[in-house]
Amino acid sequence: MASLDRVKVLVLGDSGVGKSSLVHLLCQNQVLGNPSWTVGCSVDVRIHDYKEGTPEEKTFYIELWDVGGSVGSASSLKSTRAVFYNSVNGIILVHDLTNKKSSQNLYRWSLEALNRDSSPTGVIVSNGDYDREQFAENPVPLLLIGTKFDQIPESKRSEVLTRTAFLSEDFIAEEINLDCTNPRYLAAGTSNAVKLSRFFDKVIEKRYFTRDPSPVRLSFIYCFEDEINFPKLNKCRKPSSLF
Ligand SMILES: Nc1nc2c(ncn2[C@@H]2O[C@H](COP(=O)(O)OP(=O)(O)OP(=O)(O)O)[C@@H](O)[C@H]2O)c(=O)[nH]1
Ligand SMILES: [Mg+2]
């Protein structure tokens, strides 16, 4: 096992959205029977064939870092989570399709992980402003996953899908909507499986096959530029306008 190259992918989102259920499905190909709250972070591994079916095909380990979504009131939680954000190669943002707030909070989760959340309070919840430009310049590939699709009534599905399409545009990320309690949503050959594979290929590509593979350093440089050189150019709008 130790001989394979690996990448680190964070799995982020509010508590209860289904991150652990998703990771279990991705790594064990099984439904997680009775999940309990994740305390701190748990890591599972998925084996991925990069550029499958081509001459460049190669097997990698994808480490999925499932970070407990509990925000709580303690400001120390944020600095505790910061330990998990080193050397990140990709981020899966998870939201619960039945819970709009969990979608809005993804802006804060991503900014926290990408080191651009300058909130002095130390907690994720602050105002709803975000800077779309930051995602345009983001060097870390993102994937948006909406869970609990099974709990959306048929009559509400198109409305929900329109909302998630806006979200995926904001993050410049592909989106997958699924039911983590049903493995068929990620079955081989489905469009979801193709999107997932494309995302992992992209993460590996950036980490191993681009000239500067250091996401942490890039993240810092962009942050510096945003704050020092272009503070007036950033356009902000409230995500609430989407909902
Ligand atoms: N019906 C349905 N239930 C789901 C789905 N995904 C997750 N759940 C349920 O939602 C609850 C929370 O799931 P978890 O996977 O523990 O959520 P989490 O994001 O890991 O939560 P924290 O560890 O607290 O951050 C569990 O009861 C899951 O069985 C889904 O797609 N459909
Ligand atoms: Mg969990």
Asked if residue 234 is part of any domain, the answer here is no
Q: Is 235 exposed, middle or buried (0-12, 13-18, 19+ CB in 10 A)?
A: exposed
Q: Does residue 223 sit within a domain?
A: no
Q: What ligand has the least distance to the C-alpha of 15?
A: 1
Residue-level pLDDT at 173: 96
Cβ contacts of residue 97 below 8 Å, gap of 6+?
146, 147, 148, 149, 151, 152, 160, 164, 177
**N-to-C CA span, the chain:** 45
Per-residue model confidence (pLDDT) at position 121: 39
Index of the ligand 1 atom closest to the CA of residue 23: 15
Residue 65 lies in a domain: yes
Tell me how long the chain is.
243
- 3-state per-residue secondary structure call for 22-79: HHHHHHHCCCCCCCCCCCCEEEEEEEEEECCCCCCCEEEEEEEEEECCCCCCCCHHHH
Q: Report yes or no on 239 lying in a domain.
A: no
Nearest residue by C-alpha to atom 28 in ligand 1: 18
What pLDDT is stored for residue 203 in this prediction? 98
CA-based nearest residue to 91, from 163, 166, 13: 13
In tens digits, the chain (243 residues) has pLDDT values of 557 899 999 999 999 999 999 999 999 999 999 999 999 999 999 999 999 999 999 999 999 999 998 875 456 677 788 889 999 999 999 999 999 999 999 998 998 898 755 443 343 433 345 566 666 677 899 999 999 999 999 999 999 999 999 999 999 999 999 999 999 999 999 999 999 999 999 999 999 998 765 444 333 322 323 333 322 323 333 333 332
Closest by Cα among 122, 108, 110 to 172 = 110
Domain membership of residue 227 (yes or no) is no
Q: For ligand 1, say whether the CB of 182 is within 6 Å of any of its atoms.
A: no
pTM here? 0.84
Atom of ligand 1 nearest to the CA of 149: 31
Task: Evaluate whether residue 217 is within a structural domain.
Answer: no
**Ligand 1: does its nearest atom lie under 6 Å from the Cβ of 16?**
yes
CA-CA distance, 27 to 3, in Å (whole number)?
A: 19
Q: What's the CATH code of the domain at 93?
A: 3.40.50.300
∠ CA 66-152-130, nearest 5°, is 55
Residue 237 lies in a domain: no
Asked if residue 69 has its Cβ within 6 Å of ligand 1, the reply is: yes
**Residue 10, CA distances (Å) to 43, 63, 86 in order:** 9, 8, 10
| 242 within a domain of the structure (yes/no) | no
Number of domains comprising the chain? 1
Write out the residue range of the structural domain in which residue 80 sits. Answer: 6-209
